[in-house]
Amino acid sequence: MKSKKQIVVVGGGFAGLSFVKDIDTDLFDIKLIDKLNHHQFQPLFYQVATSQIEPSSISFPLRYIFRNKKEIRIRLANVTNVDVKNNTINTTIGDYRYDYLVLAMGCITNFFGNEEISKHALTLKSTYDAINIRNHILQIFEDIINSESVDKQELLNIVIVGAGPTGVELAGSFAEIKKEILPKDFHRIDFSKLKILLIEGSKNTLNNMSKKSHINSRKYLEKLGVEILTETTVKNYDGEILITDSGQIIKTKTVIWAAGVIANTIQGISKDSIRRGNRLKVDRINRLEGVDNVFVLGDMAYMETPLYPTGHPQLANVAINQGKKLAHNLKRIELGKPTSEYEYKDLGTMATVGKNKSVVDLPFMHIKGFFAWLIWMFLHLMLILNVRNKLIVFINWSWAYFTKNTALRIILKDNK
Q: Is there a domain that residue 373 lies in?
A: no
Domain span including residue 321: 5-35+77-109+261-334
Same domain flag for 121 and 239: yes
Same domain flag for 248 and 269: no
Q: Give the CA angle between residues 116, 119, 123 to the nearest 5°.
A: 120
CATH code where residue 171 lies: 3.50.50.100
Same domain flag for 198 and 250: yes
Q: Is there a domain that residue 356 lies in?
A: no
Q: Is there a domain that residue 47 lies in?
A: no
**End residue of a domain, out of 228, 259, 290:** 259
Same domain flag for 234 and 170: yes
The Cα 303–Cα 288 span in angstroms is 10
Same domain flag for 93 and 144: no
Given a contact cutoff of 8 angstroms between Cβ atoms, the answer to whether 106 and 13 are in contact is yes
Same domain flag for 96 and 202: no
**End residue of a domain, out of 196, 227, 259:** 259
CATH code where residue 315 lies: 3.50.50.60
Q: Is there a domain that residue 135 lies in?
A: yes
Predicted model pTM: 0.92
Same domain flag for 191 and 121: yes
Strands 227-229 and 195-199: parallel
The pLDDT assigned to 96 comes to 96
Q: Is there a domain that residue 298 lies in?
A: yes
The pLDDT assigned to 407 comes to 59
Q: Is there a domain that residue 414 lies in?
A: no
Longest dimension (CA), the chain: 79
Same domain flag for 138 and 250: yes
Same domain flag for 239 and 179: yes
The pLDDT assigned to 294 comes to 97
Same domain flag for 187 and 197: yes
Between the alpha carbon of residue 2 and those of residues 5, 70, 310, the distances in Å are 9, 19, 41
Half-sphere exposure of 84 (CA within 13 A, CB side): 16
Q: Is there a domain that residue 232 lies in?
A: yes
Three-class DSSP category at 163 = coil
Q: Is there a domain that residue 404 lies in?
A: no
The Cα 111–Cα 128 span in angstroms is 19
The pLDDT assigned to 386 comes to 77
Same domain flag for 119 and 255: yes
Task: Kindly give the confidence (pLDDT) of every residue in the chain, 416 residues in length, as a single tens digit, with 9 standing for 90 and above.
Answer: 568 899 999 999 999 999 999 999 999 999 999 999 999 999 999 999 998 888 888 899 999 999 988 889 999 999 999 999 999 999 999 999 999 999 999 999 999 889 999 999 999 999 999 999 999 999 998 888 887 665 688 899 999 999 999 999 999 999 998 888 888 888 888 888 999 999 999 999 999 999 999 999 999 999 999 999 999 999 999 999 999 999 999 999 999 999 989 999 999 999 999 999 999 999 999 999 999 999 999 999 999 999 999 999 999 999 999 999 999 999 999 999 999 999 998 888 999 998 899 999 998 899 999 999 999 999 888 888 777 788 888 888 887 777 776 655 777 776 66
Same domain flag for 188 and 300: no
**End residue of a domain, out of 259, 290, 323:** 259
Domain total in the chain? 2
